[in-house]
Amino acid sequence: MNKAALSRLAMAVRADFEVSQNEPFDPMEWSKENGIPFISIRDFTADAAALRRFLEEKPRVWSAALLRDGRRHLVIYNPEC
């Protein structure tokens, strides 16, 4: 998904939750409403190299990732963002 498509998706999700562009969006509430767990990368992996890369060397490279395994979804998030 490109940046424009992600922007449209974010606007649609905000509209579904009746949250304006100027209001903070609570992803944890979204997670509860949709039954999609949010897990910190710290709890997702013990791989020292991955944790060092994503939390120390390049903490602003990513904020979260939505993973899908068949019909289930999971969000891995970066607690440094």
Average pLDDT score over residue span 21-48? 91
Round the average pLDDT of the chain to a whole number and report it: 89
Could you tell me which residue, 3 or 43, shows the higher pLDDT? 43
DSSP states along 12-29: HHHHHTT--TTSPP-HHH
The pTM score is 0.71
Give the whole-angstrom CA distance, residue 57 versus residue 54.
6
Average pLDDT score over residue span 33-50? 93
Give the whole-angstrom CA distance, residue 44 versus residue 22.
31
Average pLDDT score over residue span 35-41? 93
